[in-house]
């Protein structure tokens, strides 16, 4: 079904079992054992998704994640024994699509892979629709508003994708929370407001002649196209 890159240092006894489940699900799997090799592989010939450990030789998984995110929106699931909340929050804030702690169920990992791949396919479909003034450059994770480049954080980019997918539709904070924090379960809905505020400023700086995001009191937000 998809090409998966498994980044493990080779000492984890669960790797062969996971490989068997991935291959049984129809995936083509390549394994590398250090962060430097993983980084070179992802940037030169990106797979459909990467399963990335944190503790790796040469370059650790967090550095790999941060570097990859500076180039684009490649799907990455952290697969690690580092179960501390600080590690999980750091990885998710840097842009990991999911975070799975060891020991894990290989069947659950396969299910999470399918979820992340579906989500990225939906983002690509949204980006391909010429329905708004917003255009997305998926390989690098960038966006443009009426031809003007936007410098957005990952959360802002995800919010803009969700809002611009259906102009005029009012999205609740709950729906936007799902879109911008798909991997987090303990984030308050009000976190959306701060990111919307920053996104509005950036849209206004790019094209100040129109109010692109409208607030609907007590409900949420909508993306407003220019009048025809």
Q: Are residues 7 and 119 in the same domain?
A: yes
Q: What is the CATH number of the domain that holds 99?
A: 3.40.50.2300
Q: Tokens 């010939």 map to which residue?
A: 45
Q: pTM score, two decimals?
A: 0.59
* Residue range of the domain that includes 10: 3-123
Q: What is the DSSP code string of 116-157?
A: HHHHHHHHHHHHH---SSEEEETTTTEEEETTEEE---HHHH
Q: Are residues 26 and 112 in the same domain?
A: yes
Tell me which of 123, 139, 168 is where a domain ends: 123
Q: Are residues 59 and 7 in the same domain?
A: yes
Classify residue 104: in a domain, yes or no. Answer: yes
Q: Are residues 117 and 137 in the same domain?
A: no
Tens digits of pLDDT across the chain (228 residues): 789 999 988 676 677 788 888 888 899 999 999 998 998 888 878 899 999 999 999 899 999 998 888 767 789 999 988 888 888 889 988 889 999 998 888 999 999 999 999 888 876 655 445 446 888 875 456 789 998 999 898 889 989 988 888 887 778 888 888 888 776 666 777 788 999 999 999 999 999 999 999 887 777 888 988 876
Q: Are residues 114 and 139 in the same domain?
A: no
Cis peptide before 59 (omega within 30 of 0): no
Classify residue 228: in a domain, yes or no. Answer: no
3-state helix, strand, coil in the chain (%, to 5): 45, 20, 40
Domain count, the chain: 2
Classify residue 11: in a domain, yes or no. Answer: yes
Q: Are residues 103 and 147 in the same domain?
A: no
Q: Are residues 38 and 114 in the same domain?
A: yes
């Amino acid at each position: 079904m998809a090409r998966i890159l498994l980044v493990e240092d080779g000492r984890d006894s669960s790797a062969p079992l996971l490989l068997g489940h991935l291959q049984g699900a129809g995936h083509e799997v390549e394994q590398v054992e250090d962060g430097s090799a993983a980084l070179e592989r992802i940037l030169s010939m990106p797979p459909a998704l990467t399963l990335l450990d944190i503790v790796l030789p040469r370059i650790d998984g967090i550095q790999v994640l941060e570097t990859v995110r500076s180039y684009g929106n490649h799907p990455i699931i952290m697969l690690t024994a580092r179960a501390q909340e600080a590690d999980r929050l750091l990885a998710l804030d840097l842009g990991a699509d999911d975070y799975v702690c060891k020991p894990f169920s290989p069947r659950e990992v396969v299910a999470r892979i399918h979820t992340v791949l579906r989500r990225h396919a939906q983002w690509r479909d949204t980006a391909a629709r010429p329905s708004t003034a917003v255009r997305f450059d998926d390989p690098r994770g960038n966006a443009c508003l009426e031809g003007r480049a936007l410098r957005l954080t990952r959360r802002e980019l995800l919010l803009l994708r969700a809002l611009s997918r259906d102009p005029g539709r009012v999205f609740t904070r709950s729906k936007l929370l799902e879109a911008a924090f798909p991997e987090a379960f303990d984030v308050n809905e009000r976190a959306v407001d701060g990111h919307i505020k920053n996104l509005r400023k950036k849209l206004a700086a790019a094209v100040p002649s129109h109010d692109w995001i409208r607030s609907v009191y007590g409900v949420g937000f909508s993306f407003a196209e220019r009048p025809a």
